Amino acid sequence: MKQLNLPKKIKDNLDDFTQRLKGIYGQDLISIILYGSAASGEFTGKLSNINLLIVLNNTGLENLNKISKIITKSNRFQIFNPLFFTEDYIKRSLDVFPIEFLDMKENYIVLYGRDILSGLEISLKNLRFQCEQELKAKLINIKNIYLRSKDKRSLRNLLFKSFTSTAHILRNLIRLKGKVPPYLKEEILSEISKEFQIDTANLNKILVAKLKNLKLSYKEIETLFFALVKDLEKIIDIVDRLYSAQEYSPSE
């Protein structure tokens, strides 16, 4: 079993939160699972959240309301990002949210109750559908927001935010090749370039600008933004041509 590699204060707050959930829900509480960077050992303080999957027998608003004041009014729990699901809802949502549940399965620690993630089987066909849908929706959204983002600050924010969310989808495209994707964005771009024969030079420029917080002129930001949009269009076309014309079966 993985060990928690978190600051003592956060560990203590997690234990307190767990005890409160147990006290409030009793036998109605099935699982409390920590997932994401806090479980993988890549937690980075203010830049990371504590992601929690909380499985209950009943997730009606009346039942969730029992914990709402603790979540919203306690400063110690502000960094926590809890998702409340029933076990049945999870099983019936694997085809709709394969990215999210694959990410959970990759790095998690059971803090309390049953391990409900280990036995989940997630179709790569459904993963391809979600990746393509999110890429196409993102492209539409980026273009629409660009039309209202004419000042330097808003365009810079849109560039970096769009890159980060795009990198997350690209990471899951690597799964379609039957590989466990890396976490570091430069490694993700390297794998994407290799596996899909995509030139990621512009994406790497955006990554460097973001990581180093480079001061860029409006023209430089706009050039990188236009390149991001063109790269998204190319990636969507490649994914569409590779998988849409056939049933997806590798590694399922």
Digit-coded pLDDT (tens) for 134-166: 999 999 999 999 988 878 999 999 999 999 899
Digit-coded pLDDT (tens) for 76-101: 888 899 999 999 999 999 999 999 99
For residue 248, the model assigns a pLDDT of 47
Check: CB of residue 221 under 8 Å from CB of residue 155: yes
- Sorted by where each begins, the domain ranges of the chain are 8-113, 124-243
pTM metric for this prediction: 0.76
For residue 19, the model assigns a pLDDT of 96
Band (114; pLDDT cuts 50, 70, 90): very high
List residues bridging with 85 in a β-sheet.
55
**Whole-angstrom distance between the N-terminal and C-terminal Cα of the chain?**
27
Average pLDDT over residues 112-140: 92
Contacts of residues 164-167 at CB distance under 8 Å and 24 or more positions apart, as own/partner, are: 164/210, 165/138, 166/135, 166/138, 166/203, 166/228, 166/232, 167/203, 167/207
Q: Is the pLDDT of residue 48 over 70?
A: no
Band (43; pLDDT cuts 50, 70, 90): confident
For residue 251, the model assigns a pLDDT of 45
For residue 37, the model assigns a pLDDT of 80
Question: What CATH homologous superfamily does 8-113 map to?
Answer: Beta Polymerase, domain 2 (3.30.460.10)
- Sign for the CA dihedral angle at 197, 198, 200, 202 comes to positive
Q: Is the pLDDT of residue 112 over 50?
A: yes
For residue 38, the model assigns a pLDDT of 86
Contacts of residues 141-146 at CB distance under 8 Å and 24 or more positions apart, as own/partner, are: 142/228, 142/229, 142/232, 143/229, 146/225, 146/229
Q: Is the pLDDT of residue 245 over 70?
A: no
